[in-house]
Amino acid sequence: MIQYLPVEESVIDGKGLYFIPCIWVHGNKNGIGDFQGKGLGTALLKAAENDAKNMGAKGMAAWGLRLPFWMKASWFKKHGYQEADKDFLKLLVWKPFSDDASQPHWIHPRKKVQKISEKVTVTAFIYGWCPAQNIVFERDKRASMEFGDKVVFTSLDTSDREVFLESGISDGIFIDGEQISTGPPLSYDKILKKIAKKVKKKKTVIKDKSSSKKN
């Protein structure tokens, strides 16, 4: 499968292009078997590019990792894509279809995630494009509910372009303003432990403050 959409509706800054959030070919031995390395990814990419051209796009953009595994940036480069922008391990690449095509850029985080001093704050950004990120979001939401009113859970639907642009964050989980790694997807138990650690620490801080006031 391949996902692509107008760049103006995506998580990058661009105009007149289409953007690829994900391209995936089954590579596991179980199920239908390993279909990678047989030209399916190339066929999907070519079909998406042709479709975008027919819809008047001036180019195609995509993102890839600079490391040699899933969504490799090097794979796109083999198919004529060139570097447009960098963001640590993520590389933004693009292929212009016309001379007047404008180069795209990453949209970086624009503000810090707020936290509430009296309670543990869990903030979840969800764009909806990635199954792995969606799984982590649901696990994080369920884990937060385990702590009742000790945890304030807030979700932000960044598929709404205005919501995304306000923060510059498409997907991510933040506990008291600190982002936790979500890839590979964290298990429910690991997320629960991370929140529990923050709740325990918060209790200790509150007790210490109360003791200081009495003294």
Query: In CATH, what number is assigned to the domain containing residue 136?
Result: 3.40.30.10
What single-letter amino acid sits at 145? M
- What percent of the chain is predicted at pLDDT more than 70? 94
Contact 5, 19 (CB under 8 A): yes
Contact 173, 180 (CB under 8 A): yes
Confidence (pLDDT) at 215? 54
48 alpha-carbon distance from chain centroid: 21
Residue 53 has pLDDT above 70, yes or no: yes
Confidence (pLDDT) at 78? 96
Which range has highest mean pLDDT (44-58, 67-81, 105-119)? 44-58
For the stretch 93-102, pLDDT in tens is 999 999 999 9
Q: pLDDT confidence of 74, banded at 50, 70, 90?
A: very high
Residues 43 and 74 in one domain: yes
**Mean pLDDT (whole number) for 74-81:** 96
Contact 90, 121 (CB under 8 A): no
Residues 102 and 9 in one domain: yes
For the stretch 176-201, pLDDT in tens is 999 998 778 899 999 999 999 999 98
What is the β-pairing status of strands 17-23 and 59-65?
parallel
For the stretch 197-213, pLDDT in tens is 999 988 765 555 555 55
For the stretch 128-182, pLDDT in tens is 988 889 999 999 999 999 999 999 999 999 999 999 999 999 999 999 999 998 7
The residue ranges of DSSP E strands in 8-119, in sequence order, are: 12-13, 17-23, 59-65, 82-87, 90-96, 105-106
Helix (H, G, I), strand (E, B) or coil at 139: helix
Query: In CATH, what number is assigned to the domain containing residue 85?
Result: 3.40.630.30
Burial of 158 per CB tally in 10 Å (0-12, 13-18, 19+): buried
pTM of the predicted model as reported, rounded to 2 decimal places = 0.85
Last residue of a domain, one of 59, 79, 106: 106
Q: How many domains does the chain have?
A: 2
Domain hosting 102: range is: 2-106
Q: How many residues does the chain have?
A: 215
Residues 149 and 175 in one domain: yes
Residue 105 has pLDDT above 90, yes or no: yes
CA distance 161 to 34: 36
Residues 37 and 62 in one domain: yes
DSSP state of 148: G
The residue ranges of DSSP E strands in the chain, in sequence order, are: 2-6, 12-13, 17-23, 59-65, 82-87, 90-96, 105-106, 120-126, 151-157, 172-175, 178-180
Residues 62 and 96 in one domain: yes
Confidence (pLDDT) at 49? 98
Contact 122, 84 (CB under 8 A): no
Residue 58 has pLDDT above 80, yes or no: yes
Q: Is residue 113 part of a domain?
A: no
